[in-house]
Amino acid sequence: MSKILVLTASPRGERSVSRALTVNFAQQWGKDHPQDTVLLRDLGHHPVPHVTEPWVLGAFAPAEAQTPESKAAIAISDQLVEEFLSADRYVIGVPMYNLNIPSTLKAYIDQIVRVGKTFAVGANGYEGLVKGKKALFITSSGGSFQPGTPFAPYNFQEPYLRAIFGFIGVTDVQFVVADSMNQGEEAAKTSREKAETALKDLLKTW
């Protein structure tokens, strides 16, 4: 029995490609694995707070320096970390925004990357504390950034997600890409169908 935490980051509803692919995958996963728990967190419509000065105090200052504001700010982060750690697998829908991830997902990452909770600083440097998990990223973009193409170096989304999730210990990651969404109907359709086929396969093998 596993817990799947599903994050969506598009502010769009039915028009969103990443949301549709992510939610469809999660719903089908739930049907195929009725013993699993599937929890959906919609960051696109219900963003988590940004880091604030009280948050920084809450995360790094000693107990005697805490204020009611710092305790309240860090309590939200603590809850998000707890939820994140309680999951065995992550399915994350990510639109590309300005070559990277939407700020709603960045705000979430800022809340859950916490020293002593999801990573540690030891004698040998940084160590990710989130072990034995799997993440599936389902991304969508208007253009194409496939390896080997002229625009590949502009893709800061996939390298960043690999780096930050790897930093906290989530190294078993897969990407399913629905790109070319703004490159004409045919290219968008072909790319979306390819992503749907890849996700269908992952329902059996992930």
Ligand X SMILES: Cc1cc2nc3c(=O)[nH]c(=O)nc-3n(C[C@H](O)[C@H](O)[C@H](O)COP(=O)(O)O)c2cc1C
Contact 198, 176 (CB under 8 A): yes
Instruction: Show the CA angle centred on residue 178, arms to residues 50 and 128, nearest 5°.
Output: 45
Q: Using the minimum distance from each CB to ligand X, give the nearer residue, 35 or 98.
A: 98
Of the pair 116, 147, the CB lying nearest ligand X is at: 147
Q: Select the span of 8-16, 53-61, 65-73, 115-123 touching ligand X (CB under 6 A).
A: 8-16
Residue nearer to ligand X on the CB measure, 2 or 183: 183
**Binding window for ligand X (CB under 6 A); candidates: 72-80, 89-97, 112-120, 164-172:** 89-97
Q: Cα dihedral sign for 57, 59, 64, 70? A: positive
- In the set 4, 6, 7, 10, which binds ligand X (CB under 6 A)? 10
CA dist 27 and 33 (Å) reads 10
Closest CA to 9 of 113, 106, 110: 106
Window of 24-32, 47-55, 94-102, 124-132 that interacts with ligand X by CB under 6 A: 94-102
Closest distance of CB 12 from ligand X, Å: 4
- Residues 4, 5, 7, 17: which binds ligand X (CB under 6 A)? 17
Closest residue by Cα to residue 98 from 151, 156, 138: 156
- What is the nearest approach in angstroms of ligand X to the Cβ of residue 95? 3
CA gyration radius, the chain: 18
Q: Give residues with Cβ within 8 angstroms of 56, minimum separation 6.
A: none
Which one among 35, 98, 124, 205 touches ligand X, defined by CB under 6 A?
98
Find the binder of ligand X among 18, 70, 77, 104 (CB under 6 A).
Answer: 18
Q: What is the contact mask toward ligand X in residues 120 to 149, using x (rule: CB under 6 A)?
A: --------------------xxxx------
Give me 184's structure tokens: 């004409």
Chosen residue from 4, 81, 181, 199 binding ligand X by CB under 6 A:
181
Residue 153 has φ and ψ, to the nearest 5°, of -65, -15
**Integer angstrom CA distances of residue 31 from 24, 39, 88:** 11, 14, 17
Query: Would you count residue 99 as binding ligand X (CB under 6 A)?
Result: yes
Interface with ligand X (CB under 6 A): 10, 12, 16-19, 95-99, 140-143, 181
